[in-house]
Amino acid sequence: MSDETPGPDPERAETEDRGDAYGLDAAQVDAILAAVEAGAQDRLLELLAPLHAADTADLLEQIGPADREKLIRLWGDGFDGEVLTELEEGVRDEVLEVLDRKTLAQAVQDMETDDLVYLVEDLEAEEQDQILQHLEDADRHAVEASLQYDEDTAGRLMSREMVICPPHWTVGDAIDFMRAHEDLPETFYKVILADARMHVVGTVALGTIMAHRRDTALRELADTSPRLIPVDQSYEDVAYAFNQYHMVSAPVVDGDGRLVGVITIDDAMEVLEDEAEEDMKLLAGVGDEEISDTVWETARARFPWLAVNLVTAIVASLVISLFEATIAAIVALAVLMPIVASMGGNAATQTLTVAVRALATRDLTRANAMRIVRREALVGAGNGIAFALIVGVVGVIWFGTPMLGVVLGVAMVINLFVAGLSGILIPMALSKLGIDPALASGTFVTTVTDVVGFFAFLGLAAALLL
Amino acid sequence: MSDETPGPDPERAETEDRGDAYGLDAAQVDAILAAVEAGAQDRLLELLAPLHAADTADLLEQIGPADREKLIRLWGDGFDGEVLTELEEGVRDEVLEVLDRKTLAQAVQDMETDDLVYLVEDLEAEEQDQILQHLEDADRHAVEASLQYDEDTAGRLMSREMVICPPHWTVGDAIDFMRAHEDLPETFYKVILADARMHVVGTVALGTIMAHRRDTALRELADTSPRLIPVDQSYEDVAYAFNQYHMVSAPVVDGDGRLVGVITIDDAMEVLEDEAEEDMKLLAGVGDEEISDTVWETARARFPWLAVNLVTAIVASLVISLFEATIAAIVALAVLMPIVASMGGNAATQTLTVAVRALATRDLTRANAMRIVRREALVGAGNGIAFALIVGVVGVIWFGTPMLGVVLGVAMVINLFVAGLSGILIPMALSKLGIDPALASGTFVTTVTDVVGFFAFLGLAAALLL
């Protein structure tokens, strides 16, 4: 950690990359906590002033609940509303409870409507009303309109603040309009050309407008077939489109093709990262937990996944119990059997992860499905044979029984082959059934490799060694 | 799948969201493959014309190598250079080999320098030269300059095409300059104010320029302390900054603080997604493999991870072998022991995944480390007790030996507690040592839970049941 004072000072960007070039510095957190502890409001405000709202939110997430409450109270009515949009849900709810109504009312008034929607959508109706009542009528209506759309759809993600021009305007008309317009969106990259019925005729990038003479017709400069986002499109599809087509902003249209809003890349970027994180956590049997969740929330959230795993572990045990007599005769089998199951589980997880990711990024499709399944089967069989030779030798050396080495080797080939096949076929099947393959694949797949691993190894042993 | 003809038709965005609203359509792939098979060049060109380069790249990745080669040859000199920047490495190398030199020369001439850098950086020196020799001098020098910077640093990610204005200019000066300038960057969102020594004085968003009168001084409109990206900053830090601070573009400066380029959000978005994907794959023991890799490449890449797992599985087996006599006396132990190990492995993976993600997103820091470690220990112990009760009862009912239930239960508490602790402490320690926690944590952690699980269960059984 560095002891340099951070903040939005251009000089600091010139210092060497130390792996913590951004974000909060431990010394800073300590100083802020000391100010909170001492009840030194001026000092606190001075320390918070240079922080970006996202960093302040991280700070609130990282300190304990008691410090959090003290900090919010000490911060008082200078509280920055943008921090609310950067907080994760659990911490945000705590902060909302601590904030006094007047501060909250002030904090929300300057927010953009898409941030407001993000802020209130998870709140209970009563809390929603408390926030909405502080807004100006236009903003409140915009937020309420967005909340009419389904969760996790473009309607919730879009902003209603946009610059729309009639298609017959010139560059000069557009510039004059923007100069005269008091309330332009905070960030916008394109002007949208729409006709009287609000149908999108095209979009013109600001850079393009800048590069042309005042008398140039906007229509001449426009991208006349921009990708339009249907207002009911899922977050996932929106993020995919932005990422795939390197989009910066896109008009959102309703079922009748009328322009209702605009989505910008920063929103899409957030969704894209969330989706990747979600898949990663689902694969590991973790829901949408956050690092700031309490012990109770975390334990409760993880319990169901462990319970499912317990069931599959018991299924595997049942398979073993079929061979109790075999194990009683040759105890070495009990020593070696976890190796086959473990290797199968790992090989399957490798295949599974690649498959889940490829499904999410739409790199695994009907066009290559058969080839990928064949590949995974061959990879499984290939590595199966390689490891069969290794463990076969290990088995012989360790226990001095050549046939035990053969059993171990053959079981390994079988299980790695099955691991490859189930690692690809199970997520594909779940995806086809409309189930998120990241959610359920892991359990199915490791159950298969445990059962097959124990059954193949102990079954072969019973047949060949007794 | 839909049989509708896709393409950049605004109408299609109005159709319902079917989960495959974007990307390639199976019918389209079939049609393209049929055209390739028939050698129908006109038909092929007609089918490829409406596709975005990213979709064409996906198509090339999804079809087999033989079809790929035929398609490229049939496409001929109309080949779209942008496709090269969208392809994953393995497929791109294949395409580069098939492309004839003249087509390649044409294809690279229109590309932006950051795309060119991305294209050539992984190529061997000889192939690099082949591409570079086709570029205009200015472009070639720009690419060669970028290649001087280390891999995976801002210098490789930035574009040298930017709009720089002297700080004393007015809005009118900037607009006149851009109108007169032939070769503006393809996309840009901000004008950079830099002094004669190329030190960044501020940035002005295009939207802000548009919104003000011609005689307004740019300096008045500027963000005078923009976050600057050091040219040697890692990809990871760059992506973090864009995501954390909702940046759209950022000036890149060298060690002397001189402006050398600009990074835009689309590049950062790609890096951000790559980082999340990389962590996800590393956790599963998969390197940077792609779905289009061959059987041999895939098997070879996965072998080392499986080999490490084999070693850890053998270590676990060695622990079991310490208790051969105990198992020989009570075979039920062999049946039940995988349950304890499996639950520990799963609980550890849950903790580990959250920890790795929190380290990557910098949500796990010195400020909250102790609290999170305590939380994970408590969660482990809590779920340990819950599952101890369940498996204890299962053990008693199944085998009718109360003491076996007690052994199973106590071993479960111990292993889930250890799973929680090792799941958080091991990635934190690796991160402190400068090792990517996603890379190595999984192996360490599951070795710990296997060893502890088997040792606790069999050791307790030896002590209490014999």
Q: What is the pLDDT of residues B13-65, one digit of tens each?
A: 333 333 456 777 888 899 999 999 999 999 999 999 999 999 999 999 999 89
| Residue B228 DSSP symbol | P
Residue written as token pair 């990610």: B157
Q: How confident is the model at residue B415 (pLDDT cuts 50, 70, 90)?
A: very high
Query: For residue B106, what are the contacts with CB-CB under 8 A and spacing of at least 6?
Result: B77, B79, B81
- Give A224's contacts (C-beta < 8 A, 6+ positions apart): A201, A202
Across the interface, whether the CB atoms of A13 and B243 are under 8 A apart is answered no
Chain B partners of A421 at a C-beta cutoff of 8 Å? Answer: none
B253–A310 CB contact, under 8 Å: no
Residue A74, pLDDT score = 95
Q: What is the mean pLDDT of residues A243-269?
A: 92
| Among B265, B260, B274, residue whose Cα is nearest residue B245 | B265
pLDDT for B21 equals 62
Q: What is the mean pLDDT of chain A?
A: 89
B246: closest CA of chain A, how far (Å): 6
Which residues of chain B are within 8 Å of residue A375 when distances are taken between CB atoms? Answer: 294-295, 298
Q: Does residue A15 have a pLDDT over 60?
A: no
Contact B269 A270 (CB under 8 A): no
Yes or no, beta carbons of B266 and A265 under 8 Å apart? yes
- Read off the pLDDT of each residue in B328-344 and give the average, rounded to a whole number: 95
Interchain CB distance below 8 Å, B253 and A14: yes
Confidence band for A21, pLDDT divided at 50, 70 and 90: low
The predicted model gives A342-371 an average pLDDT of 92
User: Given B178, B243, B290, which is nearest A211 (Cβ)?
Assistant: B178
Do the chains contact at A306 and B280, CB–CB below 8 Å? no
Least confident of A142-146, B30-34, B106-110, B159-163: B106-110
Pairwise pLDDT comparison (A325 vs B5), residue with the higher score: A325
**Fold exhibited by the domain B23-148:** MgtE N-terminal fold (1.25.60)
B283 min Cα distance to partner chain A (Å): 9
Element (H, E) at A260: strand A259-264
CB-based contact B175 A210, cutoff 8 Å:
yes
Rounded distance between C-alpha atoms, residue B191 and residue B161, angstroms: 11
ipTM score of complex: 0.87
Q: Which of A187, A312, A387 sits opposite B248 (nearest CB)?
A: A187
Homologous superfamily of B164-283: CBS-domain (3.10.580.10)
Whether B164-283 and B23-148 are alike in CATH topology: the answer is no
Q: Do A13 and B230 touch (CB under 8 A)?
A: yes
CB A253 within 8 A of CB A230: yes
In angstroms, rounded to a whole number, what is the distance separating the alpha carbons of residues B320 and B451? 9
Average pLDDT over residues A214-238: 94
pLDDT at residue A4, rounded to an integer = 39
Query: Chain B residue with minimal CA distance to A50?
Result: B225
Band the pLDDT of B274: cuts 50, 70, 90: confident
Cβ atoms of B149 and B233 within 8 Å: the answer is no
pLDDT of res. B266: 85
Is residue A239 predicted with pLDDT exceeding 70?
A: yes
Residue-wise pLDDT for A278-326, tens only, equals: 888 998 989 888 888 889 999 999 999 999 999 999 999 999 999 999 9
Q: Which residue out of A210, A339, A447 would a mutagenesis test of the B interface target, given it has the greatest number of B Cβ atoms within 10 Å?
A: A210
Note the CATH number of domain A295-465: 1.10.357.20
Q: Which of A64, A346, A354 sits opposite B291 (nearest CB)?
A: A354
CATH class assigned to A10-110: mainly alpha
Say which residue, B331 or A114, is predicted with more confidence. Answer: B331
Provide the strand spans (E) within A150-306: 164-165, 190-194, 200-205, 229-230, 249-253, 259-264
pLDDT greater than 80 at residue A23: no
Domain residue ranges of chain B, discontinuous segments joined by +: 23-148, 164-283, 295-465
Are B207 and A188 inside 8 Å of each other by CB? yes
Nearest CA-CA distance, residue A466 and chain B, Å: 16
**Residues in B touching A21 (Cβ below 8 Å):** 230, 233, 237, 241
Minimal C-alpha gap between A141 and chain B (Å): 25
pLDDT > 70 in chain B, percent:
95
